[in-house]
Amino acid sequence: MTGSDDNLGRDGASRPGPTDATVLVTGGAGFVGSHLCEALVADNEVRVLDDLSSGCPADVPPEATIVEGDVRDPATVREATAGVDVVFHEAALVSVAESVEKPLESDAVTSDGTLHVLDAARREDARVVLASSAAVYGHPESVPVTEDEPKAPTSPYGVAKLSADQYALRFNDLYGLETVSLRYFNIYGPRQNPEYGAVVSVFLDQATAGDPITVEGDGSQTRDFVHVDDVVRANLLAAETDHVGEAFNVGTGESVTIRELAETVRRATDSDSDVVHTDPRPGDIDHSLADVSKARERLGFEPTVSLEDGLTALHRERAAATPDPGDQATTD
């Protein structure tokens, strides 16, 4: 199954991915999930499974069918998975801080929920593309991080993601289920919720409001920020690859310090906000950078959105979506 020429990304290029398929996106009302749905609905029957605890139904394309339910419920998962060809599994407890406060819930949603999805997909012989995370690596011994880096997650979120990641790979080994794990690095883009600690969204909010941009620690920490459009493309490529039963890093292969990110946000928003430093975040990882050579060679994945371009476009989109008070009609 290949993507049609009518299924274009923001860069105007034809997207890869399934066509004429029945597709399930768990967590499809969330950040990455809703963007995936947008990429899929033109050529496929798209079904969304989401408990709507954090996702927004308005972000789901109207052509998709929403099944409101919880991945922790096996019966609900089996019902949502019936007759599907591909599952994009995005549902998880996405906040690291919340996972520290609620480790049992983090494990139940992210680890047990993945097990339910994999078992249901096995009944349907449906491929599963899993949203894993760079959090599985913990504090990497060196950067850039390859997929073979030792796994030493530092939070319940990372532990649960590692469990989900490994379950996906073992289901391929044991049952022949076609699975691909994508280890996302730091994603940013439209509709990301700053409440979940997404530093790009937080910095943009602060810069747009003219508030100080708050950098935790000295700002020398490095991160690999990847635009959600590139993450969607990686998912679509994973839905077609012959390299199943494997894990792939999804990033850009380029790093930036958090201080540099703050300055880039200032430029993108034309803001006069000061950059201020606060106490370091306990347990924060010093450096993170994806080695994406495996994804490039085996998936054909190539990141296309530079950080500066992505931030500038994101700022413009956010500004366009915010009503100007002066344009609003008033009544007596």
Catalytic residues: 157
- Residue 28, SS3 per DSSP: coil
The 8 Å CB, 24+ separation contacts for 142-149 are 143/222, 143/255, 143/287, 143/288, 143/289, 144/253, 144/289, 144/290, 144/291, 145/249, 145/288, 145/289, 145/290, 145/291, 146/249, 146/291, 146/294, 147/183, 147/246, 147/247, 147/248, 147/249, 147/291, 147/294
β partners of residue 22? 45
The span from the CA of 291 to the CA of 252, in Å, is: 8
Q: Are 170 and 247 in contact (CB under 8 A)?
A: no
The span from the CA of 240 to the CA of 2, in Å, is: 8
Alpha-helical runs (H) found in 68-155:
74-81, 96-101, 103-106, 113-124
